[in-house]
Structure 1
C-alpha cells in the first residue's frame, strides 16, 4: 500500500474539512484543484524541502479553510498567497503544471490562429461570407488547438508532471 494518500482520499479529506463552506467561495478560490495539488506536494515532500514546507502549511490551513470561507476571513489572503507560491514553485522548479493549463492555452492559440487565417482569407478571396469564414476559422482553430493541447497534456501526464 502506498504511504501517500491518493487524490480521491484528498478529495474526501478536504470535503470533510470544507463542510458547510459556501459553494460560491469554493468556486471563487478555485479549490477544485487543491486535492490534486496536495497529493502532488505530499509525494514530493521527501525530496524537496520547499514542497514539504508548502504541504505542511497548506495542510494546516485547510483545517480552518471552511470557517474562513464562511466568514470571509482575512486569512484567506494568506491562504491564496501560499497556494500561489506552491503552484509557482511546482511550475518553476519541478516543471509541474495544473491539469487543463496546456489545453486551454492551445485552444486559445488555435482560435486566434484560426481567426487570423480567416481574416487573411477574407482579404485575399473576394465574395466570401465574412461571418461564415470567421466562424469556420475559429472552429477549426479551436479543434486543432484542442487536439494539440490534449496531446501535450497526455505527454506531461506520462512524465508525472501534471496535477
Structure 2
C-alpha cells in the first residue's frame, strides 16, 4: 500500500506553493479546505479514477496557483471549475463532505426553528417580552443545532466521509 501525505504535510506543501499569494485571494477562493481535499483525493485515487484525475489536475495547477493569484490570471477560473467539480464528485459519488458543512446547516436550521417557535410563543402567550423570547428561541435553536451538527459530523467522520 502506498504512503499518502498527511493533512499537515499538505498544508506545508500548499503553503510553499502559495508563497507570495495575496491572503485576500486565498480567502476569496476558499482555499482553507484545499489541503484536506488534496489529502482525501490522494488517499482515494487508487480506488477511483475520477478522484485520481481531479487529484492530478489540482496538484499540477497548485504549482502555478500563487502566481495566478498575484496576476489575477484567467487560469484561476479553470482552477475554480476543477475545484468545484472535485468537490461535487466527492459529494455526489462518494457522499463525502467538507468539515463544518453539516454543523453550519444544522445551526442555521436550529436558529430558524428557534425563532419560529419564539414567534409562535409570542402569538399564543400574552404579555411576553418579545425581544427576550426571540433571543431565547434563537439561542436554544442554535445550541440544539450545534449539538445535532456535531453529532452528525462525528458519525460521518467515523465513516471516513469527511474531509
Distance (Å, rounded) in 2 between the aligned partners of 1:120 and 1:54: 49
Partner of 1:130: 130
TM-score (norm. length: structure 1): 0.99
Q: What's the C-alpha RMSD, in Å, of the aligned pairs?
A: 0.9
SS of residue matched to 1:73:
coil
Per-residue CA deviation, residues 76-132 of structure 1 (Å, 9 max, x unaligned), is 101000000000000000000000000000000000000000000000000001111
Partner Cα separation in structure 2 for residue 56 and residue 32 of structure 1? 19
Q: Distance in 2 between matches of 1:145 and 1:76?
A: 36
Q: Which runs of 5+ in 1 are unaligned?
A: none
After superposing on structure 2, the runs of 4+ consecutive aligned residues of structure 1 that deviate more than 2 Å are none
CA offsets, 1:44-90, max 9 Å, x none? Answer: 10000000000000000000000000011111101000000000000
* TM-score scaled by length of structure 2: 0.99
Tell me, yes or no, if structure 1 residue 98 matches structure 2 residue 107. no
**In structure 1, what is the equivalent of residue 143 of structure 2?**
143
Which residue matches 1:161? 161
Name stretches of at least 5 consecutive residues in structure 2 with no aligned partner. Answer: none
Distance 1:138 1:38 in 2: 37
Aligned length: 163
Residue 8 of structure 2 aligns to a residue in which SS?
helix
